[in-house]
């Protein structure tokens, strides 16, 4: 499972019944939002 997790696949994987997959996807989305927020403040 060496699949790259981009933002669109992370949102798609949020609907998965697998808890680990959902948590992994949520972490990707939160990291993206955190990075986006830090760029806006500069």
Domain assignment of residue 34, yes or no? yes
Residue 20 within a domain: yes
pLDDT tens for each residue of 1-42: 556 789 999 999 999 999 999 999 999 999 999 999 998 876
Q: What is the CA radius of gyration of the chain?
A: 12
**Total domains in the fold of the chain:** 1
pLDDT at res. 39:
87
Alpha helices per DSSP H over 1-42:
7-13, 19-41
| Residue 1 in domain | no
d(CA 2, CA 34): 24
Domain extent, residue 27, equals: 9-41
| Residue 18 included in any domain | yes
In a domain, 4, yes or no: no
Is 2 among the domain residues? no
pTM of the model: 0.80
């Amino acid at each position: 499972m060496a699949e790259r997790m981009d933002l669109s696949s992370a949102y798609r994987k949020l609907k998965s019944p697998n808890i680990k997959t959902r948590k992994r996807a949520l972490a990707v989305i939160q990291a993206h939002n955190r990075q986006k927020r830090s760029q806006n403040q500069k």
